[in-house]
Every structure is written in C-alpha cells, then in structure tokens.
C-alpha cells in the first residue's frame, strides 16, 4: 500500500490507474499463495516438528484406528507405532497386575469361615494364645465357646506339642495350626501343659508374648471328675478311696497320685511364673463357666484383646446335661453341646454326666 501511495504522487493519472490495478492484483496473488502455503503445505502449523507422532497417538487414544484412518495427515512411523504398542501392552499388563493385586487384597480381607480346617485364605502361624490347663477343668468348653468369635481360629484337637512332640520342631507345630488372617488370633488347647515341667520354658522360647489361659475348678470336684473318666475306660481301676488316701483312717492324702497332683494349682503355677508374668495368665473359673458362661467368656475376650461378641445370646442351659450349650448355628441343624465324656460333675453325692 505504501508503494501505491508513493506511486500515485509521481506517475500521471491514466498511467497510474493501470499500474495500480496490476499492483493490487500481484499483491492479492502473493497473499493468496502465502495463505495456501500456510494452510496446506507447512508442517510447522499443522504438526509440531519436535514430536511428529503426538497427533497420531492422540487420535488413537481418542477414537482408535477408525479415527486414525480418516485423518489425512496421520502417518505414524513404524518405530513410533511399535513403541506405542509396546507401551500399551505394558500398560495393560500393569493394569492386569494391579487388578489382580486388588482382588488378592480384597480377598485377604474377606473373613475366613470360622473353625474350618480347609480355609483357603490367610497363613498358618504359631499360636498367640494357648489354653494350657487344667484337665477336667472345662478347657474344652472354653475352646468351643471362644472359637465362635470371628477373630479366633483354633485347632480342634490337642496337639501335645510342648509335652510329647517337642522334638518334631516348630515348623511341624505351625503346620497343625489353622490359616488365619492378620487380625485373627490363633489358639490351641492341651490341658496337660499346665503340669508338664518343661512346657513353660518351651513356650517362652517360642514367644514370651504368648497369652496363657488356665481353667480351674474346685480341686476335689476336679479329681473326682478325673477319676470317673478314667474309670469309664479302665473298669478294673482301684477304688477312689484307695487311690486318693495314703491312710484313710488318718485322712492322709496321697499327693503322688497324678489326679491329686494336678489340682495342686499353686505348685504348678510357681513354675509358670518363672517364665511368664502373672498379667499374661488368665484364670477361668470352672464353676462360673457353668452358671454364667457369657460372663466368663466376656473376661476371656477382654484378656485376648477382642471385642465382646460372644454374649448371652449364644448360650442356653441344657437341663438334661446340666451344662450350658451353644445355640444352634445358622449352618447347623442342631445345637452344639459337649460330648458325654466332658465335665463329669458330682451332684448330691452322685456322678452326673454334663
């Protein structure tokens, strides 16, 4: 435009008119060419030279192959496609791994069906708590009652590891345990532990943090129950009086008889206190376990650091047996009561099975 204005001042009018048209036409043609180049021929505007694959990759992510094929300018180099495909494969593998880990984590938090030996989740670990005694005190009842708690998993049978099978090693012992989650407590019960002299030291060597439960009852009641059970298996057993007394006329008790010796609780407790503080030993009252099972189980749950879930609603008193039983579980057609050989009690001078 400056050229046109300058020219109009110098050239004649008729001549100036012709030259002006030519100049405007040339200028318009030049501008059109520049716009054409910018719009259709230049990669500087349509695609960043520093990253020639970004638009193609963006198309793939936005619309897949169909969108890419419709594009007039997307020609993804082979190496870029390969890299992208590998990246996508790695991302898919990573996502699959994350999803699998998520499933595993969610599965590990899923509660294991309680008291089944075929649990598929969790790990086998050494027990956090052990019912160590005493025989005929009500240990089986305590185990059956506490193991309905969802955070307790227990071995159903007596392992006798610390008194009879210690030479088999801790790996063998751990193998007997049920699978438990991190938040669950592993337990076992072997009443003879309480009177076996080596047991406290051996349990302490395994873990000094192990919690111990001792179920005690009146020593006289306990020894009669012990004798009655043995008599049912050995009919030719000497009379109770012959075994219990050194001299009946003088009333001297024979403390060498094992059934009497088990009831000398203070004697055995002294050995346990050499390895464990009293705060790690909980005593269950065997008599109150019969009259108030929920109250005794509440104290057991407190000792184990568990929420009080086992309550009155789980028990009913079986008048035929004279003993509390667990109410019928949803998965069972009958209530859970102990067997005939458990907790035989003297009632009004007569033997009565509970």
Predicted pLDDT at 289: 97
| Residue 304, in any domain of the structure | yes
Work out the pLDDT band at 20, boundaries 50, 70, 90.
low
Predicted pLDDT at 277: 98
- C-alpha 70 chain-centroid distance: 54
In whole angstroms, what is the distance from residue 328 CA to residue 314 CA?
9
Work out the pLDDT band at 283, boundaries 50, 70, 90.
very high
Total domain count, the chain: 1
| Residue 88, in any domain of the structure | no
| Residue 284, in any domain of the structure | yes
Which CATH number covers residue 269?
Answer: 3.40.50.300
Binding residues for 3'-phosphoadenylyl sulfate: 136-140, 217, 225
| Residue 334, in any domain of the structure | yes
12 pLDDT more than 60: no
344 pLDDT more than 60: no
Which residues are annotated as catalytic? 136
| Residue 321, in any domain of the structure | yes
| Residue 117, in any domain of the structure | no
Those residues with Cβ within 8 angstroms of residue 33's Cβ, 6 or more apart along the chain or in another chain = none
pLDDT above 90 coverage of the chain, percent: 55
Binding residues: 136-140, 217, 225
Work out the pLDDT band at 66, boundaries 50, 70, 90.
very low
Burial class of residue 167, CB neighbours in 10 A (0-12, 13-18, 19+): exposed
Per the structure, the complete domain to which residue 321 belongs is given by 123-218+264-342
Within 10 Å of residue 169's Cβ, how many Cβ atoms? 11
Work out the pLDDT band at 7, boundaries 50, 70, 90.
very low
| Residue 41, in any domain of the structure | no
pLDDT above 70 coverage of the chain, percent: 59
| Residue 28, in any domain of the structure | no
């Amino acid at each position: 435009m400056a050229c046109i204005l300058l020219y109009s001042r110098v050239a004649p009018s008729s001549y100036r008119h012709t030259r002006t048209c030519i100049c405007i036409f040339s200028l318009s043609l030049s501008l059109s060419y520049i716009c054409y180049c910018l719009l259709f021929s230049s990669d500087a505007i349509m695609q960043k030279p520093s990253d020639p694959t970004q638009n193609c990759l963006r198309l793939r992510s936005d619309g897949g192959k169909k969108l890419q094929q419709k594009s007039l300018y997307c020609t993804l180099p082979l190496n870029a496609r390969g890299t992208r495909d590998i990246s996508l494969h790695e991302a898919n593998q990573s996502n699959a791994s994350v999803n699998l880990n998520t499933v595993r984590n969610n599965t590990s938090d899923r509660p294991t069906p309680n008291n089944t030996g075929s649990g598929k989740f969790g790990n086998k670990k050494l027990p956090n708590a052990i019912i160590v005694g005493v025989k005929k005190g009500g240990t089986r009842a305590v185990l059956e009652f506490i193991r309905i708690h969802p955070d307790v998993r227990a071995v159903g049978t007596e392992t006798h590891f610390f008194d009879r099978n210690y030479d088999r090693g801790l790996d063998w012992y751990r193998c007997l345990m049920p699978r438990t989650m991190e938040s669950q407590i592993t337990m076992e019960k072997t009443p003879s532990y309480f009177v076996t002299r080596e047991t406290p030291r051996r349990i302490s060597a395994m873990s000094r943090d192990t919690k111990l439960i001792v179920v005690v009852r009146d020593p006289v009641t306990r020894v009669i129950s012990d004798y009655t059970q043995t008599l049912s298996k050995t009919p030719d057993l000497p009379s109770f009086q012959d075994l219990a007394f050194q001299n009946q006329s003088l009333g001297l008790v024979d403390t060498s008889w094992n059934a009497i010796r088990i009831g000398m609780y203070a004697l055995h407790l002294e050995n346990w206190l050499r390895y464990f503080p009293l705060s790690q030993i909980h005593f269950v009252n065997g008599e109150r376990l019969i009259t108030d099972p929920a109250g005794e189980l509440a104290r057991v749950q407190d000792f184990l650091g568990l929420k009080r879930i086992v309550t009155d609603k789980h028990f009913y008193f079986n008048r035929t047996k004279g003993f509390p039983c667990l109410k019928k579980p949803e998965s069972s057609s009958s209530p859970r009561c102990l067997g005939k050989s458990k907790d035989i009690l003297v009632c009004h001078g007569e033997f009565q099975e509970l």
